Structure 1
Amino acid sequence: MKVIDAHCDVLNKMMLHPEIDFHDADRLNVTLERLIEAGSVLQLFAVYMSVQIVNPQFDHILKAIDLFASKIVSHPKMMQIRSAADLRQAEAEGRIGAMLTLEGVEALMGRELYLRTLFHLGVRSIGITWNYANWAADGVKEPRQGGFTLKGKQFVKQCDELGMILDVSHLTEKGFWELTEMSERPFIASHSNAYVISPNERNLTKDQIQAILQKDGRIGLTFIPPLVNSEKPAVMTDLLRHIDYIASLGGSKHIGFGSDFDGTAQFTNGLEHMGRYNALAELLANHYSNDFVEGLLHRNWRSFFDKQLPAT
């Protein structure tokens, strides 16, 4: 079994609690040992500035990237992924890929130099907002539900020119539709589910899902309970409803997973940490073909990154 997961918040926990290391199974959902147990071939690590960090600065992002370098990819089993060639190398060497992403652009302060610096450091995907407004756009919990600012629109253009993958999880619906008009490149929703199955503001409507499919983007289904089932305690089988729905819209090759482990204190029953991907794989195997399951667990994300990452 191989697994690619598009979102976790390990780095935020390490920022808030510097004593945590990458083996701390009591405090982390994603550890080195659990990645090995899950058969992980690539894990995306978000640089997220917690609301506990008042007035986040670019230095905070650099500190998180330093933690990524010193506590995660320093292990010989791990390898930082910056390019499609890196993915092939990690696979050939039997190492677990680790890719940096950014969740919320507050600390970039609209400066293209900061954006380019992050790309040089290996950040390959950026979620424009978290739940609230910043200088670039509104998040899903911002009362005015606006779209992009002028600086935000310039930022999208800069990301496209650089080859930075954009992530619409947490972006308002207005912002989503503006992005579809502004950007020619495919984008992702790294940790979002289907609104029709679980009507949560963070989930995607039918039209949004179809727009992502039309652009050959990807949707990472998340394990956050209210996004899996907003009516009762979420269980693993609830994810099947999201999978079936998106597949029914033509998205069978566009669905993956973005757990959001270490970003929540609540868990879908049966999916309490990274090692539980084995149970999820078993559930999927009981409902779908081997080919479809491999697509869900890793191949759909892999084909996307093969195309959208720099070649070398």
Structure 2
Amino acid sequence: MAHEAPNPNTHDDIYFVPHDSKWPLFASVALFVAMLGLASWFNDASWGMTTFFVGIAGLAVILFKWFADVVLESVSGYYNKQVDVSFRMGMVWFIFSEIMFFAAFFGALFYARTLALPWLGGEGSGLSTNEFLWGGFSAAWPSAGPGDIGGGFQTIPAWGLPLLNTLILLTSGVTLTIAHHALTAGQRTKLLWFLGLTVVLGCVFLFFQIEEYVHAYRDLNLTLGSGIYGSTFFMLTGFHGVHVALGTFMLIVIWFRCYRGHFTRENHFAFEAVAWYWHFVDVVWLGLFLFVYVV
């Protein structure tokens, strides 16, 4: 157990190394079960869906226990400045990997819209070869691609729910920053109120995004099957929604930790890490709003 280890805070040159942990092995087993169930589900096995959700539930329990151990080590004073630097570097590289994740999807949107679509429209060929393959095809964006895959659809106006969600996320970034300043100033009540407000704003954003998806499918015929536009639209906005959901859950955990008094003015990197992640999510949404909804 972590509490049996010597406290490295008394020695800055000692790097805390936890005792052997069973959680990596258990997490690997849970992931294997989940992926086995998912593959079987896709292949119409009757037991696939149940197995997938059993694996996901097991993974959730394991991660809860694993992070509980890390929190216990933190509040017990086992982390010194060297460990703090490692955590910060780890979070920086994690966010960098997320930037590359979304960069690939934005790159797919750029390629489809700026390069592939004009080529399919015969641009630069001089022979209008598209007329022989897809007569009457227009290379205008938004497009379902040659053959009007998925049928006709309408796009979602930028100045409705997308604009409202943009304002909500930007406001949540402000409330989170106020909460951070309250933490460094030792103002616990203010910290809890503004951090809680950030959680509420994240939930409201997700609610409106679900409303937008329902409207797209039910009224606009805009679905994942709506060719290249539908694919890129739901890929970008859907993965961003997953990140907002994860960030909201992280903020809830941090709220409870603040309520329990886990953080001090000087030692609160877990709060900072979640704040970094949330601001990253805000910036990605601004890119989405501009290149998916507006332009």
Q: TM-score range by the shorter chain?
A: under 0.3
Q: Rg bigger for which structure?
A: 2
Q: Which has the higher strand share?
A: 1
Answer 1 or 2: higher relative contact order, Cα 8 Å, separation at least 6: 1
Q: Which has the higher helix share?
A: 2
State the TM-score, normalized to the length of structure 2.
Answer: 0.25
State the TM-score, normalized to the length of structure 1.
Answer: 0.24
